[in-house]
Structure 1
Amino acid sequence: MTPNAASSGPSRRSFLASTAVATAAVAGGVPLLAACGGSDSGSKDGTTSGKAADKLLPAFVASTVAKPDLPSKNGSASGYTGKVDLAGLSTSVPDKLGTGAPFKVMSPFWGSPPKAGCAYYKALDAAAGTKVTWQNQDGNTYGQKLGAVLASSSIPDMVVVPGWELVGKIANAVTAKFMDLGPYLAGDKVKKYPNLAAIPSDAWRMGIFGGALRGIPMPAATANWITPLYRKDLFDKKGYAVPKSPDEFMSWAKEATSSKAKVWACGDMTWSAWSIFGVRGSGTIGWDTGSDGKLTYRVEQPEYLEALEWVRKLFDAGVVHPDDKARSGDAGQRFAAGQILVWNTNIADWYGKAAEQAQSNPDLQIDAIDLFGADGGNPTLYASQPATIWSLIRKGASKATIENALAAANFSAAPYGTKERMLVDYGVEGTHYTVKDGVPVKNDLGNSEVLNAWVMLAAPAAYYAHPDLPDIARKQVEWQQRMGAFMKKTSTFGMNIVEPSRYANLSSQFEQLEIDYVRGNKKLSDVQQAISTWKSSGGDKLRDWYKELIDKNGSGN
């Protein structure tokens, strides 16, 4: 499957949404934003961590199927670089756990959903013993639909909730409208569902909402950052050295850019600039306590302005493609066409773009620039949360519905190297894919039906495996491992936090302001004023709230 490329200069939400299914399909995990949780009443704020959280978690029983060539290290995904033995696939669900009782699932979907009763859905239901009615919703506008459904009295039996949609009233609605799965999954109870038992405990901890285990997680690598991909084939042809500092990047960018030849050095580099200059992520992981003991938010870091100033210099120097400046078109297509030589994007697009171009552009070679620090030394990188998408079961669901929903999730969480994983990811051999040189290749029906439905219910521990392009899987893991050596965890790492609703929109103005500032449409004083306003409008009070929360629950780092 080829993922949809992110458009130029996307918002945080649209950027993550556009690549979420790509990551789920090819990496076993989803990026980047922190999630929120509520309380049992649906009205209180806070988090559950430490020993209190440990008591709620399922027992961890590692999978022994298909040992990875590259084990997880420094927070990376694991990697499989050999061809899978299609004739010797293991079975992770020896007995159907579903009873065939029907249930409805609402999930975000990117692209055109297949029709009900299609060959893919029939095959999955038959294998898992389920009968799922899919209520797929446009992933790009999912938050609007999710908010409306959760505010209504008619909620589907199972709902997929991405962390980037947990804003405003949705966060509290998750606690109010979805059930505690502890009676079915806590402790040794999870062993009925071995694939769910193999999900790492850190990911399960992120499924605690309002003091109860409600969310079935899709695990993610914590060494997971927007990746500056570059056209290695064109770098080699021109004799360019890969930049190793912001100054080197600027010098190279000026040399590489030729508007006459319709070649620009890069697209909008804001996402990589956050990592280069050591700026924390948005949302709850944007808070951290420094060595001086002071708790600050990301916009208060001196590095925040430094990152924005560097990106603005790139725009001012004319090295950013004009369409990226205008936030139009498709940056991924410009990258494939050689119109931009560096594209910072989700790491899943490394494989996605290479696979897309494999036949039409066989000379294309993609690699990733190692993130460097502001002074050209080692970067300071902040860990991503270990899970940011969940499937949840509505309160009041019947026992039969619950058991069938868990059976579906267990099937979807099958590890690499199993029959179940092949069925979820590729469909039925001969119907959705054929095997060429030992590698499964989807046909047109596979590309139209085997998309992003079942993969959203649950996932195994994060991994990369591309039998057709194994070298990319290796490079993805090795890049994460190298970068993970410089990873720090914030004070709120691994915590599922819901902020008081009165602060829900406190930081909402910064994203557009960042976009405008780097393009020269706002002044530095405008950004500085926004930071001051943020503090006086509630930022300082929110800091006190976070300090109390961390003092009570302990630090995540």
Structure 2
Amino acid sequence: MTGMSRRTFLGLSTAVAAGAAATALAGCGSSTAAKGEAASGKVKLPSYVPNTSIKPDLPPNAKGLSAGYLSYPKELIQSVSKAPGDGSKVTLLTEIWTQPPLPKGSNEHWQKVNKALGVDLSAILGTDPGYDEKFSATVAGGDLPDLMWIPPNQGIQHVAQLLESKCADITDLVSGDAVKDYPNLAAMTPAHWKTAVVNGKIWGAPSPYPAFGQVYGGNPEVWEKAGGLSAGSPDEFLAKCKEVTGGKVWALEPIYVNAVSVMSQCFGAPNKWRQNKDGSLTFWQETDEYLAALDFVLKLKKAGVFYPGDPKMADAYLKMAQGSIGAAVFANPSGARANLRTNDPSLAAEILIPFAAGGRQPNHHYHLGTIGYTAIKKGSEERVRMLLGVLDYLAAPFGTKERELLEFGTEGVDFTYDKQGFPQRTDRGKQQVEGFYSGLATATTAPFALLPSTFAGSHGPQDVKDIYAVEQKLTETAITNPTVGHYSDAYTEHYGRMSTEATDLVNDIVSGRRKTGEWKSFWTEWRSQGLDRMAREFQKSIEKNA
């Protein structure tokens, strides 16, 4: 994803951290595939079949470790043997994270992609913010697009009912070895596919995203005097924060809810929900571990190590690059390194690995691994298969001719190769390719890979090695969210307000306006307002379909 905003980051990580996840994705319903007992049975996820024609320098694995490439391939492979389309018109509803491209009629690159896909693709391009309104307006129009990207965290309501009647259940077409008909989709891991499962059925092609979750990324020049950002205990972390704070420098950004989220990993909090021995579920923010993290963040606040700003500040990353903030929370490790390089190519962000706190083992929280999935409008099996072929083309990985066309366009016109051999868009490429690719990659794309071109400056290969090593460390303690792939009506109904109120209370407690003693009573009240119902509905779905 390119050009993702700070607001979007908060949506994908902080808000999702409170349980949005793929659990908010409501499934579509019946089709010519699984019905009756099959529809309510346990789903067999698609087989994981990595592309063996492309050899990364650093290998990925099914646990979420990203493939790493140190250079651009001298020869690209062909991953799709022929255009998947049948010449028909296809509409796509998706979201873009950068400036809109030139319209299809005046966009030569768009027309070239359509020729490669073998369809006349039109796209309805939503933006951030506003995608939920675009989605609702499109649905209200009655004529649904052939392909619809469904995000987990933008407040879209009643998706389950809508898709139950309007979308194709693709379980039989991709489950198990059936996915081998779509090799690029087959290269997605079980974790990717699980986010597209609801009620024991698979409803779309996932939109992959880095598997690892929130981390503190730090400016190494700020932390040098303290011996680096790494710490082995809360006391050591606090001491280091105090040491680097002074003058016009503060150790941490003032987005307190992010601080508690990352620190909760150190105190062993569950990843959004804890599945208890009896099968019941406990929400992560109502656990003793989360409360311990909140108490520790309050201790950090009293020590004066947070930048004295708005807990919703939008320029924390820039201030970190400028050296007035030592560390900020990022959606994932690669994002931290890439962002700091963009703001100052000479700086390589350090990543804080969760340390053990409170006598508990740390739990790094995996991200969902996707930012949603793209569902297919119900139709004949032939048309659904054709549209799956289109999505398979869009999921072409790094190192393929298809990916270069989609992401960069035509050499000499839309892009040129830089000194390191990586494509760089021309002005025309920025007008015609960038925004269009942003929308296509939102719909679906290949699993995330670490690339030197992600990181500004000449340090890309070393950055790839460094972040790959960080990911290896994080896999040692990383845990998943047990509710991914399960649905709760209560969640979609109540989560937005519950999350907002919880964030406000965190800010008030850390700022000293309210007491930590109010935290547990807040969750006691919410249990009767919808939290218990969320837990029961997720538990029922897990027992039935997991």
Q: Same fold (TM over 0.5)?
A: yes
Query: Is contact 2:317–2:339 with CA below 8 Å preserved after alignment?
Result: yes
**1:107, distance to aligned residue in structure 2 (A):** 0.8
User: Which of the residues 185, 197, 208 maps onto 2:197?
Assistant: 208
Query: Is contact 1:432–1:443 with CA below 8 Å preserved after alignment?
Result: yes
State the one-letter code of the partner of 1:415. P
Query: Is contact 1:120–1:450 with CA below 8 Å preserved after alignment?
Result: no
**1:73, distance to aligned residue in structure 2 (A):** 4.8
Map of 2:165 onto structure 1: 176
Q: 1:150-185: per-residue Cα shift (whole Å, max 9, x none)?
A: 344232221111122365423432333322234644
User: Which of the residues 318, 329, 345 maps onto 2:314?
Assistant: 329
State the one-letter code of the partner of 1:315. K
Unaligned runs of 5+ in 1: 18-30
Q: 1:183-212: per-residue Cα shift (whole Å, max 9, x none)?
A: 644455544432123323442243233543
Map of 2:494 onto structure 1: 504
**1:384, distance to aligned residue in structure 2 (A):** 3.6
Cα distance in 2 between the residues matched to 1:523 and 1:530: 11
Cα distance in 2 between the residues matched to 1:196 and 1:139: 26
Map of 2:241 onto structure 1: 253
Cα distance change, pair 187–126 in 1 and its aligned pair in 2 (3 A):
same
Query: Is contact 2:199–2:541 with CA below 8 Å preserved after alignment?
Result: no
Query: Is contact 1:161–1:391 with CA below 8 Å preserved after alignment?
Result: yes
Aligned residues: 520
Q: 1:34-71: per-residue Cα shift (whole Å, max 9, x none)?
A: 443347389xxxx99996301xx445443112222222
Unaligned runs of 5+ in 2: 32-36
**1:294, distance to aligned residue in structure 2 (A):** 5.8
State the one-letter code of the partner of 2:235. D
Q: 1:189-238: per-residue Cα shift (whole Å, max 9, x none)?
A: 5444321233234422432335433211123454x111211112343367
1:22-61 counterparts in 2 under 5 A? 34-38=23-27, 40=29, 52-54=42-44, 57-61=45-49
Map of 1:518 onto structure 2: 510
State the one-letter code of the partner of 2:266. I
User: Which of the residues 471, 474, 493 maps onto 2:465?
Assistant: 474
User: Which of the residues 199, 207, 217 maps onto 2:188?
Assistant: 199
State the one-letter code of the partner of 1:537. Q
**1:270, distance to aligned residue in structure 2 (A):** 3.0
State the one-letter code of the partner of 2:3. P
Map of 1:464 onto structure 2: 450
Q: 1:342-392: per-residue Cα shift (whole Å, max 9, x none)?
A: 1111224234324424xxx44322221211122487412344434441011
Map of 2:409 onto structure 1: 427
User: Which of the residues 223, 235, 244 maps onto 2:223?
Assistant: 235
Query: Is contact 1:233–1:363 with CA below 8 Å preserved after alignment?
Result: no
RMSD: 3.4
State the one-letter code of the partner of 2:317. G
Map of 2:34 onto structure 1: none
**1:302, distance to aligned residue in structure 2 (A):** 0.3
Map of 1:27 onto structure 2: none
Cα distance change, pair 457–5 in 1 and its aligned pair in 2 (3 A):
closer
1:157 aligns to 2:157 (yes or no): no
State the one-letter code of the partner of 2:318. Q
1:414 aligns to 2:396 (yes or no): yes
**1:404, distance to aligned residue in structure 2 (A):** 5.0
Secondary structure, aligned partner of 1:140 = coil
Map of 2:120 onto structure 1: 131
Cα distance change, pair 83–32 in 1 and its aligned pair in 2 (3 A):
farther
1:288 aligns to 2:279 (yes or no): no
Query: Is contact 2:206–2:374 with CA below 8 Å preserved after alignment?
Result: yes
State the one-letter code of the partner of 2:418. K
State the one-letter code of the partner of 1:422. E
Cα distance in 1 between the residues matched to 2:328 and 2:263: 12
Secondary structure, aligned partner of 1:343 = strand
1:344 aligns to 2:329 (yes or no): yes
Query: Is contact 2:252–2:307 with CA below 8 Å preserved after alignment?
Result: yes
Map of 2:342 onto structure 1: 356
Query: Is contact 2:373–2:443 with CA below 8 Å preserved after alignment?
Result: yes
Cα distance change, pair 132–464 in 1 and its aligned pair in 2 (3 A):
same
Cα distance in 1 between the residues matched to 2:216 and 2:39: 34
User: Which of the residues 439, 442, 459 maps onto 1:453?
Assistant: 439
Map of 2:262 onto structure 1: 272
Cα distance change, pair 442–421 in 1 and its aligned pair in 2 (3 A):
same
**1:137, distance to aligned residue in structure 2 (A):** 0.8
Secondary structure, aligned partner of 2:402 = helix
Cα distance in 2 between the residues matched to 1:157 and 1:242: 48
Cα distance change, pair 532–454 in 1 and its aligned pair in 2 (3 A):
same
- TM-score normalised per structure 2: 0.84
Cα distance change, pair 82–272 in 1 and its aligned pair in 2 (3 A):
same
Map of 2:57 onto structure 1: 69
Cα distance change, pair 168–345 in 1 and its aligned pair in 2 (3 A):
same
**1:251, distance to aligned residue in structure 2 (A):** 1.6
Cα distance change, pair 219–399 in 1 and its aligned pair in 2 (3 A):
same
**1:433, distance to aligned residue in structure 2 (A):** 2.1
Cα distance change, pair 188–241 in 1 and its aligned pair in 2 (3 A):
closer
State the one-letter code of the partner of 2:95. P
* Structure of greater relative contact order (alpha carbons < 8 Å, 6+ residues apart): 1
Cα distance in 1 between the residues matched to 2:84 and 2:417: 29
Cα distance in 2 between the residues matched to 1:484 and 1:71: 14
Q: 1:287-323: per-residue Cα shift (whole Å, max 9, x none)?
A: 4215x87642213310121112222232333221223
Query: Is contact 1:96–1:127 with CA below 8 Å preserved after alignment?
Result: yes
Q: 1:385-407: per-residue Cα shift (whole Å, max 9, x none)?
A: 3444101122358955x455333
- TM-score normalised per structure 1: 0.83
State the one-letter code of the partner of 1:215. G
Secondary structure, aligned partner of 1:323 = coil
Query: Is contact 1:38–1:498 with CA below 8 Å preserved after alignment?
Result: no
Query: Is contact 2:54–2:399 with CA below 8 Å preserved after alignment?
Result: yes
State the one-letter code of the partner of 1:323. G
State the one-letter code of the partner of 1:406. L
Cα distance in 2 between the residues matched to 1:303 and 1:49: 37
1:112 aligns to 2:99 (yes or no): yes
Secondary structure, aligned partner of 1:441 = strand
Cα distance change, pair 40–94 in 1 and its aligned pair in 2 (3 A):
closer
